[in-house]
Structure 1
């Protein structure tokens, strides 16, 4: 389509390994430079912005809500485009948009400029990030889908383990270091360079290079054995008629509300009880370190037991961790939160995507994943400002996090009751209509 995306692949001659594992590494790195600074580091950005501009918790929380408006609008578009245009195009254009967003963020002088910059950053990470790379991995893996997605999330976790404390150290408002503006400019340069490098190594599907998912030719006899592992291929219309589409979408949404609120307000909560930005970074680091391990465990487990059951377990553990944020100001409670939240969030993260691939197939995965983010993003729209508003009105975060923990439990139950679709039932239902 254009010359950049037709350039040679420097890894193309790699021997002795299924090329899909290179896609896992690249996918993880893409999420490091997109999701980590935009979402996982929001807790430390917020402390620096509050120190400079004096904005309220509600105002800071609204920034993530604007990103969810973006997600509701662009999620389905990104899903459609990645199925039609391919991952390479999406990564290139998304990282260019992210570059512009980081640069504008570095120039912020008022609240509305901050909102605009964060909206653009979110558009860029949304186009290059989760939907795009999960669609890529869903094409490359079937039997090892959960493990592949878990490993990619582990790569992102390792990146977050390094990047979040580094950002916190660089932008600490109590220290005279690089500052948040120069740090944002550095991230803009990283995104720009990556936009021209990463598309060279990406291949959209194994079939594009004469291969097969998992690196293994399909075995026709498997369907005759009735093992229950056969791939189902649903259209977007068929997926929308299933119970699983809606229970997974809303289960993911309710389970993610507490994630978004925690990412947005954890640093501010720690500041409320007398701790600084470096302490917040260490709590996030512990949570991230635990989640790295359980991203692999969750993906591995999801390839061996029903994914809906694994999601129920891990989402429940995530909610239990959040309750510890309401028990007092002792740092001990925050580290218990970090461990439990890391187990739950880490374990469920690859499974929320892998279950969609298992239930709905490869052919329309990008479209299905994009549409399924709409109800999730509408729920996420209220998460961060709700927590900020309740803190501003009540004086602390206790009721906000207890409410979100309850909604998280509802999400766990919705995952549990998600039933795997049967294609013959959908065909019969379509004929009846």
Structure 2
């Protein structure tokens, strides 16, 4: 638990004196942060939320296109590259957001995403082109317009209700994982069953993203004369010494001090379990369960269920992340993930297949919802985009190895069972890392 630091009070007072708003006066307009929750959720839906669910359905169809010369290893390498580039680009995108603002990053990313989608439809004709268009360009674009940009913006606009705001935004965005698979599958069928048709939806969404970012995104509350959490909270935050139910560090902490803190690394490694399980599922889940003899329609249904349960995980864990320490919620989620991956490793019936998708959906949903909140709570919002970007890099460096590893194992053995067991072991280690994070009793400004 913590009191608001003097630096945060100064920031609030400075924002309150922004042009067009007298000191101490309550804003006459609706707090724009609530509007941004919907706007950013929609942007997450159209980018990070929809791309991987689409790829889960579309990319395996590349194996049927003889002209591409694809196998499971090459397919998995594309997914590994996608995840790796997300991680490697995240610190760069975080720096871009810090210098130019999230709005600039979102518009640039949406343009890049449009280029990537057009390339996938009209120009990709070899594994190398697949690696570039999907693994590199699409990956970097979704980080710029989606995950990191929207989460950083929420961190700038909310303090007291950060967990609630992050959850609401991500629930809107993550609904794509539930809605996307059947819609994309229908588009593929309507366009002749080829993999290229699956990307037409993303072309339209990319254009919409550009317009939404230009018209509705505001980088920081001070840009429009407001401050985090709205006028109703300003007095309580600054003048009444409000105490939070979970630890929230509101001091100004430099990025160089954050990355030297051992708990930054432990929090990032703890979250890695969620990204590892989800990456394995999206990259090789369809191939793995098909090799075990399960019907393709059943597997597509499992992917859709995973998306729906992911929403439940995001809502339940996100709703309590302002009352229960987010890092503890991450540990609980990794336990659920471990159970699910073990069930999927050598699934013998439909129940075990669905147990895998339900557990991965719930566990990843929980981790994805509370990881940015945990990072912001522990180290504050002053360098949040850089902190979160570097944290994402750590999670994805590990997760990016799984698709290519599982693809190679599949080509050698005919199943991904061994890869599932290796992933379960990684998830167990991640749970231990999260359990080692100590929550400070007071706001010291730099954690412990």
**Length-normalised TM-score, structure 1:** 0.88
Deviations 1:165-223 (A, max 9, x none): 11123225xx8636332332342232023212332111111222222212121533454
1:125 paired residue number? 142
8 A contact 2:268–2:394 mirrored in 1: yes
1:409 counterpart (428, 431, 445) = 428
Give 1:270 shift. 2.6
Give 1:357 shift. 0.6
Q: 1:204 to 1:281 in 2, by over 3 A?
A: same
Q: 1:248 to 1:124 in 2, by over 3 A?
A: same
Summarize the alignment of residues 163-242 of structure 1 with structure 2, pairs less than 5 Å apart.
163-171=180-188, 177=192, 179-215=194-230, 216-218=233-235, 219-223=237-241, 229=248, 231-242=250-261
Q: Does 1:359 align with 2:374?
A: no
1:8 paired residue number? none
- How far apart, in 1, do the equivalents of 2:249 and 2:106 lie? 31
2:32 paired residue number? 19
- How far apart, in 1, do the equivalents of 2:312 and 2:274 lie? 20
8 A contact 1:29–1:155 mirrored in 2: yes
Helix, strand or coil at the partner of 1:179: coil
Deviations 1:45-99 (A, max 9, x none): 2321112136221110101222234224321110011111111111100000000
- How far apart, in 2, do the equivalents of 1:315 and 1:349 lie? 11
- How far apart, in 1, do the equivalents of 2:445 and 2:249 lie? 16
Q: 1:373 to 1:293 in 2, by over 3 A?
A: closer
1:4 paired residue number? none
2:57 counterpart (6, 20, 44) = 44
More displaced 10-residue stretch of structure 1: 274-283 or 121-130: 274-283
Deviations 1:111-133 (A, max 9, x none): 11111111111111111111110
- How far apart, in 2, do the equivalents of 1:398 and 1:171 lie? 29
8 A contact 1:44–1:277 mirrored in 2: no
Helix, strand or coil at the partner of 1:41: helix
- Superposition RMSD on alpha carbons, in Å? 2.5
Q: Does 1:244 align with 2:257?
A: no
8 A contact 2:113–2:206 mirrored in 1: yes
1:10 paired residue number? none
Helix, strand or coil at the partner of 2:430: helix
2:298 counterpart (267, 276, 279) = 279
Q: Does 1:62 align with 2:77?
A: yes
- How far apart, in 2, do the equivalents of 1:300 and 1:123 lie? 30
1:270 paired residue number? 289
8 A contact 2:187–2:197 mirrored in 1: no
8 A contact 1:150–1:349 mirrored in 2: no
- How far apart, in 2, do the equivalents of 1:248 and 1:113 lie? 35
1:390 paired residue number? 409
2:310 paired residue number? 291
Matched pairs, number:
413
8 A contact 1:170–1:179 mirrored in 2: no
8 A contact 1:243–1:419 mirrored in 2: no
8 A contact 2:249–2:378 mirrored in 1: no
1:30 paired residue number? 43
8 A contact 2:83–2:399 mirrored in 1: yes
Q: Does 1:77 align with 2:92?
A: yes
8 A contact 2:157–2:228 mirrored in 1: yes
More displaced 10-residue stretch of structure 1: 294-303 or 418-427: 418-427
Q: 1:403 to 1:117 in 2, by over 3 A?
A: same
In structure 1, stretches of 5+ residues that fail to align are 1-14
1:113 paired residue number? 129
- How far apart, in 1, do the equivalents of 2:138 and 2:418 lie? 31
8 A contact 1:255–1:409 mirrored in 2: no
Give 1:387 shift. 1.2
2:117 paired residue number? 102
1:313 paired residue number? 332
